[in-house]
Structure 1
């Protein structure tokens, strides 16, 4: 293989796929990145067998070929090279690559490309497109609510539901539940459910662009493929039965409050500064015209915040984990939210009023 390409584009491509490089040493070749010439471009591939990422870089191909290079050292070398043209040569006879750029030259030992596992071909009738910007947003609005409990793998991902012309994404760790619903572009889809690993959701939010270009999504029984902006992400799906989320969302309330999202976020942030010293607990008192947030750090002091509200129903008081409240408020884009409560021991609900429905259910905590 002998190719010429620009350092900046090359490094961007390496960084894109590097997120899927395996950190385990059980299969050493998975700690590398596959480089393969293909149709006037250089294809880069990395996988840990749970998730695989593929992308292409514009390249001048002098001689076709392929090689697997160790990701960590290879990426470090390309990163430190000047933003100039790189000449990369690889010999299949000894699996060694030579990298030249400006006055720099490196020789790096690799592995045969035919030993690198191919990403699976994903073919399915369940295929649809969705705007990248919206897909990125709905993932960000639920991913933080996935569980870290390894004994319940079916909670460690987000449940994707496709039905008629809607896409739903739900996550829960049993202490809170995040639900997001969006309409698709007039695509009628048969009912499909898939649990996407949290690690895949995390990488998608880093790779998806904030633009209106479409992303293609293909789902099989045990895998899902996302294709966008010259990038392909293939991921396994989590097996198991996701809980019935509909039973978790309360269908009535005794107290309903409308409040400015940004004001509540800033007040909660400030109160949370002292809540860290008391198990992250904040108390919220809902009065006729304002809510009052208090937190207490016995060794340090107390915090007190007021936020104006519009209240329907009963006045009430409830305590929450401040972190759980903040994580939801940070990802809500609506100017106002509605908070629904049914006493100090029942779950609280945060909802948006926009047509694109967002619901966040959070369990209260007992406080002294």
Structure 2
């Protein structure tokens, strides 16, 4: 195998592929990236047996072939080569070496046979549809903060993507929860997604997917089966197993009868929570919300470190209320609000609060209270 590729193109392609490689693994081949040349150029494939990324890039191919080499090592070399360099990559299967040359720099790396490289089993996808990168980014970005990190409840370690019924008809919905807070985000149902089986997209896959979604103009081809999900652009294909579990009935924890309404500037509220939480204890991170007529006081009382309070002018006309929340949870939810105002719906001091982005019902958040 022999080909030439621009350094910037190589860096972009190899960095996307190598990011799925686990730094610590007991199977040597999983630390490698599979390099294959085609008529169109070259592809870089990496996997951890749960996620597989294929990144295709233009290259001048002189001799077709394939081999595998350390993904991290090749990525480090590519990043450290001078800008604008033309990189020549040659493999010698008999010697088990890959040569990387750029200007006066020469590297010789150990390879492993391409036959040893695992591939995710092929599958039949039940639903195939196309969605814009901006729509998918909104769905996953706004939900992912609520993904649970508790391994024992593995079915909460991802974002639940499914078709749901809303007041306006069927929607594509993403939900995440860790039992303390919940995010539910809706988008118009794309054509072809009606048969989408509900799947739990793992946390790591959500992180890798984010790298495909930077271009607002890009369209992402999405394929979903009971066991796998695939996101594809002309350059990159990301295939992942989904979590084998049943997502709980999240609708039961979304408050339906909260009547006390608070409307507050989202950015002012986010910054105020961040400021008063500075003195909160690391263990509880509790902040108290004291509501009265058009007035909100955020306060923290941490015996070991001190106290803090801040007053905000808000829109609130219901009876007085005092309720406590984890400051980190409040800050994360308020940070998701894209609109000027956040709307909080409360019931009582012991009940979950519902948060919306202004009058937009397509993104709602739920947070459980705590004693303060």
Q: 1:55 to 1:165 in 2, by over 3 A?
A: farther
Counterpart of 1:90 in structure 2 is 91
Instruction: Quote the Cα distance in structure 2 between the aligned partners of 1:310 and 1:233.
Output: 45
Q: Which residue of 2 aligns with 1:212?
A: 217
* Residue 86 of structure 2 corresponds to residue 81 of structure 1: no
| Deviation of 1:119 (Å) | 3.7
CA distance in 2, matches of 1:288, 1:186: 47
CA shift, 1:206, in A, is 3.2
* Conservation of the 8 A alpha-carbon contact between 1:347 and 1:362: yes
1:268 correspondence with 2:273: yes
2:293 maps to which of 284, 288, 296: 288
Note closer, same or farther for the CA distance 1:42–1:188 as it changes in structure 2 (3 Å cut): closer
The answer on 1:240 being equivalent to 2:210 is no
Q: 2:305 aligns with which of 280, 291, 300?
A: 300
SS in 1 for 2:204: helix
Q: CA deviation at 1:148?
A: 1.2
* Equivalent of residue 230 in structure 2, options 225, 232, 235: 225
- Offset, 1:314: 2.3
Q: 1:8 to 1:24 in 2, by over 3 A?
A: same
Q: Does 1:190 align with 2:195?
A: yes
d(CA) in 2 for partners of 1:251 and 1:187?
A: 31
Equivalent residues, number:
367
Cα displacement string for residues 197-244 of structure 1 (whole angstroms, at most 9, x for unaligned residues)? 111112212332141321111011100001125111111111111111
Moved more, 154-163 or 57-66: 154-163
**TM-score, with structure 2 as normaliser:** 0.94
Q: Is the 8 A contact 1:278 1:296 kept in 2?
A: no
Unaligned 5+ residue runs, structure 2? none
**TM-score, reference length from structure 1:** 0.95
Give the Cα–Cα distance (whole angstroms) in 1 for the partners of residues 191 and 92 of structure 2.
Answer: 51
Following TM superposition, by how much is the alpha carbon of 1:184 offset from its aligned partner in structure 2, in angstroms? 3.1
**Higher mean C-alpha displacement, 121-130 vs 73-82:** 121-130
The alpha-carbon deviation at position 71 of structure 1 amounts to 1.5
The residue aligned with 2:362 is 357
Runs of 5+ consecutive residues of structure 1 not aligned to the other structure: none
Q: 1:52 to 1:278 in 2, by over 3 A?
A: closer
Contact persistence 1:122–1:218 (CA under 8 A): no
RMSD between aligned residues: 1.7
Structure 1 range deviating more: 210-219 or 261-270: 210-219
Q: Secondary structure of the equivalent of 2:78?
A: helix
Stretch moving more, 297-306 or 226-235:
297-306
* Alignment check: 8 A CA contact 1:254 1:314 kept: no
- Report if aligned partners of 1:51, 1:233 keep a CA contact under 8 Å in 2: yes
